Amino acid sequence: MERYSRQQRYLLAVDSIIFGFDGEELKLLLIHRGFEPEKGNWSLMGGFVEPEESLEMAAARILKQLTGLSGVYMEQLNTFGSPNRDPVERTVSVAYYALIDIHQYEKQLSDNYHPEWFALNKIPKLIFDHPQMVAIAKSKLRDKAAIQPILFELLPRKFTLPILQNLYENVYGRKFDKRNFSRKVLSSGLLVKLRDKEKLRSKKGAFYYKLDKRKYKSQFNSFLNFTPFPSDL
């Protein structure tokens, strides 16, 4: 097999930022790193790409191996290649972020590496440049949520408008006007109102809605201004 002459070889890794929503808080999934350096410290889901794997295949394999999760929505985020990001050896990492409904996947979670959910304002100290990865993922999520209905990946099959608003408030870190938010969301035409209500939060209750999957898939990449930026709410 031919190789490029006089070229240095580097390791290639993938890291995954897993966001989850439990109906109350937006959270980040972390594990205890299983090897040195930084063994036992809090880490994103990461590992090295095998020769026969694509980046997507490696990200899915590593996520399954470290957490037990599979079949989740994932999207490539950024590449991190600072020469000193790994103290052992020059390693370039391609980061992905994923969005899941915590309750839907909680039975899949494996205990092998002690995965744990943390609220975004209570994230512990992370290894290497993982804090930078998380910060970029949070910024990316806010940008995309303003122009695409991407946050529905974090919700169960049926949900109420207060839960949906709470999710957006978690992502943007501020309160929204209830009437304006409901009007904007319903005007999208993506929601189907159901007959039953959620009555745990109030006696009157709030109607459940579900996502119109066909409209969601057909309009996902062209649905501009699904939700206005925070200053407009």
pLDDT digits (tens, 9 = 90+) for 17-41: 999 999 999 999 999 998 899 999 9
Closest to 108 (Cα-Cα) out of 184, 29, 53, 2: 29
**Residue 1 resides in a domain:** no
**Residue 56 resides in a domain:** yes
Residues 6 or more apart in contact with residue 11 via CB below 8 angstroms: 48, 86, 89, 90, 91, 92
Its pTM stands at 0.89
Q: Which of 88, 118, 145 is the last residue of a domain?
A: 145
**Residue 151 resides in a domain:** no
CATH number of the domain that residue 40 is part of: 3.90.79.10
Q: Both 126 and 46 in a single domain?
A: yes
Structure tokens at 144: 């995309």
| Residue range of the domain that includes 33 | 11-145
Q: Both 97 and 196 in a single domain?
A: no
Closest to 32 (Cα-Cα) out of 97, 125, 108: 125
Q: Both 140 and 164 in a single domain?
A: no
Q: Which of 145, 167, 184 is the last residue of a domain?
A: 145
Give 145: exposed, middle or buried? Use CB within 10 Å, 0-12, 13-18, 19+. Answer: buried
**Residue 213 resides in a domain:** yes
Q: Both 33 and 138 in a single domain?
A: yes
- Location of structure tokens 């937006």: 26
**Residue 207 resides in a domain:** yes
Q: Both 20 and 93 in a single domain?
A: yes
**Residue 150 resides in a domain:** no
Residue 219 has pLDDT above 80, yes or no: no
Residue 233: per-residue pLDDT? 41
For the stretch 92-143, pLDDT in tens is: 999 999 999 999 988 888 888 889 999 999 999 999 999 999 999 999 999 9
How many domains does the chain contain in total?
A: 2
More confident residue, 80 or 218: 80
Q: Both 201 and 127 in a single domain?
A: no
CATH number of the domain that residue 221 is part of: 1.10.10.10
